[in-house]
Amino acid sequence: PAGASRSVSDGRLVVVSNRVAAPSASGASGAAGSGAGGLAVALQAALKARGGIWFGWSGKVSQDSNAPVQERTHGSVTYALSDLSRRDLDEYYHGFANRALWPICHYRLDLAKPSAPDSAGYFRVNEFFARRLARMIRPNDVIWVHDYHFIPMAAFLRQLGCANRIGFFLHIPWPSPDVARALPAYDRILRAMSAYDVVGFQTEGDAENFRNCLVQAKAGRAGGDVWREAYGRRFQVDAFPISIDAEAFAEEARVAEKNVLVKRMRASLEGRPLIIGVDRLDYSKGIRQRIEAFASFLEQSPLAAKSRVTMLQVTPKSRSEVPEYAKIQREVAEQVGIVNGKLGDVDWTPLRYINKVMSQSALAGLYRIARVGLVTPLRDGMNLVAKEYVAAQTPDDPGVLVLSQFAGAAQELHSALIVNPYDIEATGAAIARASSMPLAERKERWGAMMDVLRANSIDNWTARFLQALGGDAELADS
Ligand code: GDG
């Protein structure tokens, strides 16, 4: 395969992502510290092992669009952060990325708000970042670009003469050609994805959708082969399902039984069963349908009302500057009020709704005490909450995962109760089934899911992608 013969074992790893998990200026541990997301920890580990750069947006808006890249080096890793102007941020991030790419890749054509200035801004910011990055790259470096914010990064780097191995991983779904064709600048985006050496997706279905897009655009041949030739380049298109460090998460959940917040939660339940949902406040997560399903469960199941089941929905606000997100925030808040008003009692609030960000430890402990985990997105690349909920369970008394068929995680966690989140009654019935599932069945389902998580850890994921990219020492030596 192209590039595999080139020795890159001495090359550094260069990670590009919109947000960078950099340690704070004071040197306090950043993503590698406790409470960091699994992806950040895994990328930090890969960077530390090879040395390298993590490059992306600083999270800051600057008046001076030419403010220099801020570089901070910790050991063998340099964090390189670039500010954006207000206009760049609005067009590239709030605009094209979050009002065109995100909704369309999540099959919400109705919510897509494409605009010519946003498209132009997206490509302009990618070119701006590519120019800044190109100055830092050495010939043997291996470059790993993350997610929908930076699809054209490799195309711009190639224009600047960069011949390095460059990989791309898309964290969100890639839709079927009929839907993908609704993307503004679709042809340019397809062509730009062909500038990578490896294009990775969460599921085989996403990878196949992308291959079909190339076929339909007459830019590749049919068939399920991972190797593609399109737009004059040969590259690999494959699925790399992301995961978590299940053992570490399980340990965190075990220790979190002593977490003060978890203890308070448990005490406040007074023995009533808990159902949990955890999501960024995003229309793709199916929060409204989930609340309806929970209400349907309360109304249908005599057991639910009698045992005064409580649902905790932890939902940090997200992308509030995007109008579609401001709208869903209002709608969910209103709906919570309606359900509690209708079904609650003087001493029972069926639905507890929290917009705060919690510590990962508290979250792990809350998963552990919840009898049911509700993960019911309308579309989701993978959904790590599903995997975290499973990992957090007590082995001798595990809870039950209710999982949407439209989450990438459903391709792996077959032993969850798989639901169609649009079917409110059926989801309500699945919540009832989960709530009263016998211990033996709960153990069997949980055991099967833990086996899956242990077999595909986040470290496997990083290693597999870097191996495909030809960036690992073993492959380079062989
Ligand atoms: C994208 C794709 C894909 C949530 N609330 C709190 C909190 N979280 C953590 C969860 C989990 C993470 O955030 C969310 O990850 P998801 O995978 O569920 O969803 P997205 O944010 O949409 O992520 C998705 C993922 O990328 C990775 O490729 O799986 O499909 O959409 O880890 O635990 N963490 C803390 N407090 C909270 O309140 N500490």
Query: What's the CA gap between 204 and 328, in Å, rounded?
Result: 30
ipTM: 0.99
The ligand 1 site (C-beta within 6 Å) comprises 37, 39, 171-172, 242, 278, 280, 314, 316, 357-360, 363, 380-385, 388
How many angstroms separate the alpha carbon of residue 253 from the centre of ligand 1?
17
Query: What's the CA gap between 82 and 61, in Å, rounded?
Result: 9
* For range 26-49, the mean pLDDT: 68
Burial class (CB in 10 A: 0-12, 13-18, 19+), 36: middle
pLDDT tens string 366-396: 999 999 999 999 999 999 999 999 999 999 9
How many angstroms separate the alpha carbon of residue 37 from the centre of ligand 1?
8
Predicted TM-score (pTM) of the model is: 0.94
How many angstroms separate the alpha carbon of residue 168 from the centre of ligand 1?
20
Cα 207–208–209 angle (5° rounding)?
90
pLDDT tens string 322-368: 999 999 999 999 999 999 999 999 999 999 999 999 999 999 999 99
- Give the residue, by CA position, lying nearest to ligand 1 atom 26: 171
Task: Check: CB of residue 203 under 8 Å from CB of residue 241.
Answer: yes
Task: Check: CB of residue 195 under 8 Å from CB of residue 233.
Answer: yes
Whole-Å CA distances, 210 to 120, 177, 179, 207, 252: 23, 7, 11, 5, 37
* For range 151-180, the mean pLDDT: 97
Which residue, chain included where needed, has tokens 């609030």?
349
Query: What's the CA gap between 106 and 172, in Å, rounded?
Result: 8
- Give the residue, by CA position, lying nearest to ligand 1 atom 20: 383
In this structure, what token pair is assigned to residue 421? 């989140």
What sign does the dihedral 24-29-32-34 (CA atoms) show?
negative
pLDDT > 70 in the chain, percent: 94
Q: Residue 265: enclosing H or E segment and its boundaries? A: helix 260-269
Nearest atom within ligand 1 for CA of residue 38? 32
Query: What's the CA gap between 253 and 368, in Å, rounded?
Result: 6
The pLDDT mean for the chain works out to 92
Nearest atom within ligand 1 for CA of residue 407? 30
Query: What's the CA gap between 41 and 30, in Å, rounded?
Result: 9
Indicate which residues carry an active-site annotation.
171, 380
* For range 218-237, the mean pLDDT: 84
User: For residue 155, what pLDDT is reported?
Assistant: 98
Scanning 270-422, the segments in alpha helix (DSSP H) are 287-300, 302-307, 323-343, 360-369, 384-391
What is the DSSP code (8-state) at residue 150? G
- Give the residue, by CA position, lying nearest to ligand 1 atom 21: 280
Q: Among 278, 314, 355, 361, which residue has the most ligand 1 atoms within 8 Å of its CB, making it the best to mutate?
A: 278
How many angstroms separate the alpha carbon of residue 383 from the centre of ligand 1?
7
Query: What's the CA gap between 444 and 430, in Å, rounded?
Result: 17
* For range 302-317, the mean pLDDT: 90
Q: Is the pLDDT of residue 199 over 50?
A: yes
How many angstroms separate the alpha carbon of residue 278 from the centre of ligand 1?
8
Q: Among 383, 389, 406, 453, which residue has the most ligand 1 atoms within 8 Å of its CB, making it the best to mutate?
A: 383
